[in-house]
Amino acid sequence: MVVVKTIKELKDLLNSFGENRKVGFVPTMGALHAGHVSLIERCVNENEVSVVSIFVNPTQFNDKKDLEKYPRTLDADCKLLEGKGVDIIFAPAVEEMYPEEDKRVFDFSPLDKVMEGKCRPGHFNGVAQIVSKLFDAVNPDRAYFGEKDFQQVAIIKEMVHQLRYDIEIKACPIKREDDGLALSSRNSLLSPEERSQAVNISKALFASKKYADTHTVDETKSYVESLIAESPLLKTEYFTIVDGDTLQDIKNWEDTDFAVGCIAVFCGNIRLIDNIKYKE
C-alpha cells in the first residue's frame, strides 16, 4: 500500500501496474470506519488494483463550521487500511485538486432539488466537481459508493451518464453499529449524551418499517417524526418517503415498487442522515 499526494504520482503508479487490470476506486473523506471498510473490502475483492482517496472536499460543504470541524485522521486511516489489500491511497492537498477555482455548474434536476440538495445548497455540485476530478485522476473501471448517502448514489449515476464516463457505479449497503446507528465519520463528534439519543434515528426507521405495513405514507411519515421528537436532543430537518429511482416524494405505497424513507436529523449540532427501504 502506497500513499501518494499528487495526481502525477498517482498516474505513474497506476501505469506501473500495467494495462488490462481492472481498477476499483473508493472515494472517501477519511476518518474511516467499518462502513468505509465494507466498501473497500468489496472493491479489493472485485478488482485487481484498488485505490482509496482520502480528501475532505471543501466545495461540497455549504457550512464553513461543518468543514472546519470535520474529523481529519490520515495516519489512523492509513493504519486501518494496512493489510486490507488496498494498493494506493490518494490523499491530495486542496491545492492539488483545486489549483484554480472550479467554476463548473452541474444540473442534476430534479434529483438534486430535494432532500440533501434542498437543505444543503451547492452540496451536490461540489460532490460532482470532486468526484469527476477524482474519476479523471484514477480512471477506474468500477467505483464504490455507500447507500448511507442514498441521494448521492443517484446523483453520481446521473453524472456518469451526463459526462459519459465508462465507470460501473456499485452501490453498497449501509453498515451500522450493533445498536443500529448508521456508521458515520460525524459520529465521532457526538457527546456521550448525543450518542445515546442518536440511536433513536435508526430505531424510528426500523419501527416504521413494520408500521408501514398497515398505514399510509403520510401516517408513516408522521409516525417517524413523532418518534424522533421524543428525544430532546434530536431535531428532524426532513423525513420523506421517495421513489428510490426518481427521488421524488410518493403519496401512496402503490406509486412505486421501490420506496425509500430518507431522513436528516440534527443531534445537538451534528447533522446525521439515514434511510430505510420500505419496498424494493
158 or 217: CB nearest ligand AMP: 158
Asked if residue 234 lies in contact with residue 197, where contact means CB atoms within 8 angstroms, the answer is: yes
Amino acid identity of residue 228, one-letter, is I
148 or 221: CB nearest ligand AMP: 148
Look up residue 143 and give its DSSP letter. Answer: E
Strands 23-28 and 49-54: parallel
Q: How far is the CB of 10 from ligand AMP (least distance, A)?
A: 18
Asked if residue 53 lies in contact with residue 25, where contact means CB atoms within 8 angstroms, the answer is: yes
Q: Which of 33, 36, 123, 215 is catalytic?
A: 36
39 or 128: CB nearest ligand AMP: 39
Q: How far is the CB of 204 from ligand AMP (least distance, A)?
A: 17
Could you give the count of Cα atoms lying within 13 Å of 18 in the half-sphere of its Cβ? 3
Q: Is 161 a catalytic residue?
A: no
Q: How far is the CB of 181 from ligand AMP (least distance, A)?
A: 9
87 or 149: CB nearest ligand AMP: 149
**CA 40, CA 26: separation in Å to the nearest integer?**
6
Residues near ligand AMP (CB under 6 A) are 28-29, 35-36, 38-39, 145-146, 148-149, 172, 174-175, 182-185
Give start and end residues of each alpha helix (H) in 101-169. Answer: 115-119, 123-138, 150-163
The CB-nearest residue to ligand AMP is: 146
Asked if residue 186 lies in contact with residue 194, where contact means CB atoms within 8 angstroms, the answer is: no
Residues classed as catalytic: 36
